[in-house]
Amino acid sequence: MKRFVFAFLILSFSHSLNIFAQPKESHNATIAHHLELFDDIYRQLDLHYVDTLSADTTIGWAIKSMLSHVDPFTQYYPEDNDELRQMATGKYAGVGSLIRYNRKEERAMFIEPYEGTPSQRAGLRAGDVIMSINGVDVKKKMTDEVSNMLRGEGGTALEVVVKRQGEAQPLTFRLKRETIQLPTISYYGIVGENTGYIYLGNFAEGSAREMRHAITDLKTQGMQKLVLDLRDNPGGAIDEAVNIVNLFVGKGEKVVYTKGKIPSSNRDYFTTSEPLDTITPIVVLVNENSASAAEILSGSLQDMDRAVVMGTRTYGKGLVQAIHEVSGRGHLKITISRYYIPSGRCIQAYDYRHLTADGRVGTVPDSLTNVFYTRGGREVRDGGGIKPDVEARPDSLSSLVYDVVQSDEMLGYVVQYYQKHPTIAAAGDFQLSDDEYEEFVSWMVKSGFESHRRTDDVLKLLREAARLEGIYDRANEAFDQLADKLKTDLGEELRRLRDAVRPYVEDDIVCMYHYQRGRAQHMLRSDKVFDKAVDLLNDKEAYNKVLGK
């Protein structure tokens, strides 16, 4: 056992060209000492602990704990699996649908089948509650476990039994798993007379090819300006980001470069082809969930003064990961370098090696960031994501609106609307009438929907604090009066918040008929940040002023 543990950990630390090796002997000695210490601790546990320990479980948790103190991106995978393949290619073998947990049913349910996938072709719908998969009851199984049951080898068959709203008996669907390519461009089209719009959801294999096709198609439709939407884009392959930048800037431009501990981690990425379009004005939309490759794309276009970046500051992931085999079994996804965009800045926001006093991950304050310059001389900074050239924030959602939008009850209304209406208007034109919204309000009230009210939590804490301080009896009446004033009528609140709630209900309804492309198109109807981007593109003087021209 001692030899197994010691060898396993040595290989975990030193595989892949011994990237942890340091020139100083003292560093090597420290590593050896701690590995021997760990080995001795486990040997003592294995020998003396009252129960028999599982090496796989105990050492597995030790590895997870160790990696959790490195950064959230460095992870160990005991064996080849779908998650690894999906990270590498953006593909997985499954049925092609999002699922989530239905609390009342205590089961996972389908919430968004992707167009053209086995789930959609078989007739599965949003709101279908999963009863069993291949005869196995999934009651109380969490979504991760159910998702793994739906995935498998491409071409393999599975049987899914679901409970559908409005149907007296469960429905059985037989389908085959297929390799699923995650959607890259959910929607693109012409908005208004000549403004193109592209929503790029991630950077998977083939993203640049899809982007080239979309731009070419939009130009044939008369596009003269472009809004490129990278909001909520988590990133992906660096090569795809570089190739997309290449569509807008000339050949031979350095887009990004990486620096790591060992020479093999250092790499320069250049554009290698003639560009598709270096003239069309572009606004790139970003938000706090735009990360990694999305930041390379937006930051590079910003550094080259090729586009105006609009929205909110991005996530700030300036770290690069690579996947290495470990000990002949399993893989280690490890952070091997930082990346830098054309101005020379690294946009990493979080310092995982130096935690704050309370154990949280610290960020670099703006006052300590360094100044860099775009090609045209505009000032930009490192250390905190991509700061947009023009800040634009969506309207904030109240807690009630958020809870309604995420609720199973709202999805129930969407399902019954779909069952009652064979067709609806085109995605960009659909809108609930006032009477239909009133039906939605009635549905939510009758369904027993309850919002998690934050004011109730605060009041409860206040009551407990009063008890601890011995003043509860004299304050109790005031607490009751406050609780009474904080009570709300759900119907009245939904009517008051109609302008905030209705677009989300419409989005979900449109998705039932027109899938992800329809949702993306419909969301533009109420997107104030998008409207601001179009306004800027329509004002050539203001656009050039932002770019310092």
Do 226 and 281 contact (CB within 8 A), yes or no?
Answer: yes
For residue 490, how far is the Cα from the chain centroid? 31
Do 260 and 267 contact (CB within 8 A), yes or no?
Answer: no
Q: Max alpha carbon distance in the chain (Å)?
A: 78
For position 5, what pLDDT does the model report? 41
Eight-class DSSP state of 525: G
d(CA 429, CA 59): 57
For position 14, what pLDDT does the model report? 42
SS3 annotation, 54-88: CHHHHHHHHHHHHHHCCCCCCEEECCCCHHHHHHH
Angstrom CA distances, 313 to 298, 385, 387, stand at 11, 6, 5
Ordered per-residue pLDDT tens for the chain, 549 residues: 344 444 443 334 444 444 444 456 788 899 999 999 999 999 999 999 999 999 889 988 999 999 988 999 999 988 766 666 666 666 778 999 999 999 999 999 999 999 999 999 999 999 999 999 999 999 999 999 999 999 988 999 999 999 999 999 999 999 999 988 777 999 999 998 899 999 999 998 899 999 999 999 999 999 999 999 999 999 989 999 999 999 999 999 999 999 999 999 999 999 999 999 999 999 999 999 999 999 999 999 999 999 999 999 999 999 999 888 887 678 899 999 999 999 999 999 988 877 777 777 878 777 788 999 999 999 999 988 999 999 999 988 889 999 999 999 999 999 999 999 999 999 999 999 999 999 999 999 999 998 888 888 899 999 999 999 999 888 889 988 998 888 889 999 999 999 999 999 999 999 999 999 999 999 999 999 999 999 999 999 999 999 998
d(CA 247, CA 475): 67
- Rounded to 5°, angle at Cα 407 from 401 and 411: 110
Do 293 and 235 contact (CB within 8 A), yes or no?
Answer: yes
For position 23, what pLDDT does the model report? 55
For position 85, what pLDDT does the model report? 65
What's the Rg (C-alpha) of the chain? 27
| Residue length of the chain | 549
Half-sphere exposure (Cβ direction) of 423: Cα atoms closer than 13 Å: 3
Angstrom CA distances, 295 to 203, 335, 548, stand at 11, 17, 21
